[in-house]
């Protein structure tokens, strides 16, 4: 096997193009076998095998910088840079990350889990290179989906303006172009990037301009002729107008063609864009037939493509999707909006039932937020279905366009809390902190699927501004569902367990953890109340005042950043009320990023467990014992 002899990128340079083609088949087989056990991003990586091989063959990483947009398509890059033996630990706790990770390898120069950052990063590295007087290559690899992000266009505009030497590879795995058009593009690319052609063109133009009276006119005529031909036959006109030299399209599965394209690109001064056509899932028929399903996949059977999923209750996402259909049947004002995640957000069936009321804006979270604000102002009921981690990309629009206008937008915030194997770039643990302080917004989180359904009804009936319900990436508890949905009074909490002397205020899935802790304490003779803080904003002031008057020592338990979230809100409330005789301990996610692994491992790592709550309550029982976290001490 050729693959077993690859320990670093330079090993590729010993092989012929024919051998590299064999190597690509070996890599595909390796990925199919390894990911059948670990799961991961299969389709996108199968699509960039030849492209990644050609890059490492033509350039010298890590001196030359490869910047992978999002980074989930860098498995082949990891294989070629000495990490093949780590694939058994892919996306596992303390194992290899599923995205590019700087601490893993010197070849990983840029980390990302969100899209559309690669071009800005490439510009930054090109600027730094030039300021330091170095001459390495900078290459950004971005997919056609990521190119819909507004940040990518901002970067294209700046790069084209500055004329920096860097290369953008547009990995186009959706567009279909007829062979004859592609052949014409390749031919034009070769001519237009040839050094002799470029030099001759410049010399002729300069010569024409020197001819008195008519030279300038002839030069302008020649330039107009060149531009008119370009507009007729070249699909890369947009990039040319932005200041890039456009090359392509190139067959992304033809290593020889890719190598030739990169050689042509090296002959071009300034920014160049190489348009590469690839097929997601290439070489594995189940992934080719349904690249969306196989984008991020659980373990599977190689022969049949059957996904091995544990049998259990549905995910919160599924409950959301079904309930939204029910509500939309009753209210024609409901419109679902998603930034490129209809499947992940549970909206596929909604789209089938209400195609005119389902809007996928692509990777454009900012645009989606402002659009929702305007729709709400026109009397519609937009539901902005978005992952917590992606919603943070639209922070300014949430402040400026939604909350400031007090627009009646409903946020369905998926993946709230830890997300497991996707790790630190995807955890939904910051949205409470960055939304709670914005005026006009209401924030909710249910303890179970039945409460989620009632919260969705609450949001629909609410007309006084923006309102959000957030839910985790886990299976629902499996409680009975009420047939009739009724709004929950805004700002009301519920005490799900009575106790004396101690109270655990919990939100979302942590309510179950709190109840487990209370049961353990009960067996040890300690009585603790459990409060479901289902409204994070506004708080239940009456409940908080009662807990203080009863002399409870309080633990606030939340699967969110300890700084700025529910626990901070409780402390702020008691401070505002001038109440200083209540001990309050916070259990949340500490001030650091939590890496990939299972959700259980992540919860264990930060102490969001029943055992941790029990320990915290026991600390309260010891006089003068300080507890973990912040505390309001008796006066």
Instruction: State pLDDT tens for residues 558-586.
Output: 999 999 999 999 999 999 999 998 999 99
Q: How many CB atoms lie within 10 A of CB 463?
A: 9
pLDDT confidence tier of residue 189, bands split at 50, 70 and 90: low
Segment 581-613, tens digit of pLDDT: 899 999 999 999 999 999 999 999 999 999 999
Answer with the residue of higher pLDDT: 292 or 533. Answer: 533
pLDDT attached to residue 167: 97
Where are the strands (E) in 533-578, listed by range?
Answer: 535-537, 553-561
Rounded mean pLDDT, 49-72 = 97
| Pairing mode, strands 358-360 and 381-387 | unpaired
Q: State the chain's mean pLDDT as an integer.
A: 91
pLDDT of residue 630 exceeding 60, the answer is: no
What is the average per-residue pLDDT within 353-363? 96
- Write down the pLDDT at residue 433: 97
Q: What is the pLDDT of residues 239-269, one digit of tens each?
A: 888 899 999 899 999 999 999 999 999 999 9
Lowest mean pLDDT among 218-222, 262-266, 340-344, 378-382: 218-222
Q: Note if the bond before 62 is cis, omega within 30 degrees.
A: yes
The string of pLDDT tens digits covering residues 269-302 is: 999 999 999 999 999 999 999 988 899 899 999 9
Contact predicate 535/491, CB 8 Å: yes
Which of 514, 409, 397 is CA-nearest to residue 469?
409
Whether residue 32 is predicted with pLDDT greater than 50 in this model: the reply is: yes
Q: Does 545 score more than 60 pLDDT? A: yes
Strands 410-414, 467-470: pairing is parallel
Q: What is the per-residue pLDDT for 184?
A: 38
- Cβ within 8 Å of residue 320, ≥6 positions away: 345, 346, 385, 412, 414, 452, 456, 471
Closest CA to 149 of 336, 396, 393, 371: 393
Q: Which helix (H) or strand (E) holds 55?
A: helix 49-58
The length of the chain in residues reads 635
Check whether 109 has a pLDDT greater than 60: yes
Q: What stretch of H or E contains 387? A: strand 381-387
Confidence of residue 147 (pLDDT cuts 50, 70, 90): confident
> 46 and 91 in contact (C-beta within 8 Å)?
no
Please identify every residue annotated as catalytic.
Answer: 280, 365, 393
pLDDT for the residue 292: 84
Beta-strand ranges (E) seen in 507-567 are: 528-532, 535-537, 553-561
What is the token pair recorded at 380? 């519609």
Better-predicted residue by pLDDT, 234 or 235:
235
Mean pLDDT of 122-133: 97
Q: Is 414 helix (H, G, I), strand (E, B) or coil?
A: strand
pLDDT band for position 232 (cuts 50, 70, 90): very low
pLDDT tens figures, 469-481: 999 999 999 999 9
- Cβ atoms of 463 and 469 closer than 8 Å: no
- The whole-number pLDDT of residue 191 equals 44
- In the predicted structure, residue 626 carries a pLDDT above the cut 80: no
Q: In the prediction, which pLDDT does 621 show?
A: 81
Kindly state the percentage of the chain with pLDDT values over 90.
Answer: 83
Percentage of the chain beyond pLDDT 70 is 88
Would you say residue 370 has pLDDT above 80?
yes
Residue 180: predicted pLDDT: 35
Number of helices and strands in the chain (H, E) = 24, 17
Tokens of residue 75, six digits: 């498995």
Flag whether pLDDT at 486 surpasses 80: yes
Cα–Cα distance between 613 and 308 in angstroms, integer? 34
**Span 356-360, mean pLDDT?**
97
Average pLDDT in the 13-38 region? 97
The token duo for 534 is 């289902």
- What CA–CA distance (Å, rounded) separates 471 from 93? 23
| Burial call 384-414: b when 16+ CB within 10 Å, e when fewer | bbbbbbbbbbbbebbbebbbebbbbbbbbbb
Rounded average pLDDT over 348-367: 96
The string of DSSP codes covering 207-231 is HHHHSTTTHHHHHHHHHHHHHHHHH
């Amino acid at each position: 096997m050729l693959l077993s002899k690859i320990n670093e990128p330079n090993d590729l340079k010993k092989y012929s193009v024919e051998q590299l083609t064999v190597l690509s088949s070996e890599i595909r087989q390796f990925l199919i076998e390894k990911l059948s056990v670990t799961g991961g991003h299969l389709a996108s990586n199968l699509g960039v095998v030849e492209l990644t091989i050609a890059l490492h063959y033509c350039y010298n990483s890590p001196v030359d910088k490869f910047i992978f947009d999002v980074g989930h398509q860098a498995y082949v890059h990891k294989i070629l840079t000495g990490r093949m033996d780590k694939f058994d630990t892919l996306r596992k706790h303390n194992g290899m990350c599923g995205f590019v990770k700087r601490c893993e390898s010197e070849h990983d120069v840029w980390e990302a889990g969100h899209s559309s950052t690669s071009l800005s990063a490439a510009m930054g590295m090109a600027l730094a290179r030039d300021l330091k007087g170095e001459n390495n290559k900078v290459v950004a690899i971005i997919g056609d989906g990521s190119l819909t992000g507004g940040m990518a266009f901002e970067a294209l505009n700046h790069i084209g303006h500055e004329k920096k030497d860097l290369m953008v590879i547009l990995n186009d795995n959706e567009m279909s172009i007829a062979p004859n058009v592609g052949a014409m593009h390749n031919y034009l690319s070769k001519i237009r990037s040839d050094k002799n052609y470029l030099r001759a063109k410049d010399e002729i133009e300069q010569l024409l301009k020197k001819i008195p009276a008519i030279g300038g006119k002839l030069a302008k005529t020649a330039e107009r002729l060149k531009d008119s031909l370009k507009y007729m036959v070249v699909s890369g006109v947009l990039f040319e107008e932005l200041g890039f030299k456009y090359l392509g399209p190139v067959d992304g599965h033809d290593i020889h063609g890719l190598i030739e394209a990169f050689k042509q690109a090296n002959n071009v001064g300034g920014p160049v864009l190489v348009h590469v056509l690839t097929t997601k899932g290439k070489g594995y028929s189940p992934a080719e037939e349904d690249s969306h399903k196989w984008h991020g996949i659980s373990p599977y059977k190689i022969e049949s493509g059957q996904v091995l999923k544990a049998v259990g209750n549905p995910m919160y996402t599924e409950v959301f999707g079904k309930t939204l259909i029910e509500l939309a049947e009753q209210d024609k004002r409901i419109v679902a909006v998603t930034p490129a995640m209809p499947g992940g957000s549970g909206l596929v069936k909604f789209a089938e039932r209400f195609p005119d009321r389902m809007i996928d804006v692509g990777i454009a979270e900012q645009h989606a937020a402002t659009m929702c604000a305007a729709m709400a102002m026109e009397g519609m009921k937009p539901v902005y279905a978005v992952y917590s981690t992606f919603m943070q990309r639209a922070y300014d629009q949430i402040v400026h366009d939604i909350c400031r206008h007090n627009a009646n937008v409903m946020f369905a915030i998926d993946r709230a809390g830890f997300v497991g194997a996707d790790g630190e770039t995807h955890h939904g643990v910051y949205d409470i902190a960055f939304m709670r302080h914005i005026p006009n917004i209401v924030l909710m989180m249910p303890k179970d699927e039945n409460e989620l359904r009632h919260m969705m009804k609450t949001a629909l009936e609410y007309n006084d501004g923006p309102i959000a319900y957030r839910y985790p990436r886990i299976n629902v508890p499996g409680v009975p569902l009420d047939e009739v949905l009724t709004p929950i009074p805004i700002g009301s909490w519920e005490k799900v367990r009575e106790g004396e002397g101690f109270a655990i205020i919990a939100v979302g899935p942590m309510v179950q953890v709190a109840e487990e802790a209370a049961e353990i304490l009960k067996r040890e003779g300690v009585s603790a109340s459990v409060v479901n803080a289902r409204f994070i904003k506004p708080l239940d002031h009456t409940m908080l005042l009662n807990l203080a008057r009863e002399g409870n020592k309080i633990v606030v338990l939340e699967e969110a950043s300890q700084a700025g979230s529910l626990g901070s809100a409780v402390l702020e409330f008691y401070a505002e009320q001038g109440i200083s005789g209540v001990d309050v301990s916070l259990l949340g996610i500490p001030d650091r990023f939590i890496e990939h692994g299972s959700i259980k491992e992540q919860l264990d790592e930060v102490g969001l467990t029943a055992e941790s709550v029990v320990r915290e309550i026991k600390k309260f029982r010891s006089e003068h014992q300080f507890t973990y976290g912040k505390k309001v001490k008796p006066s």
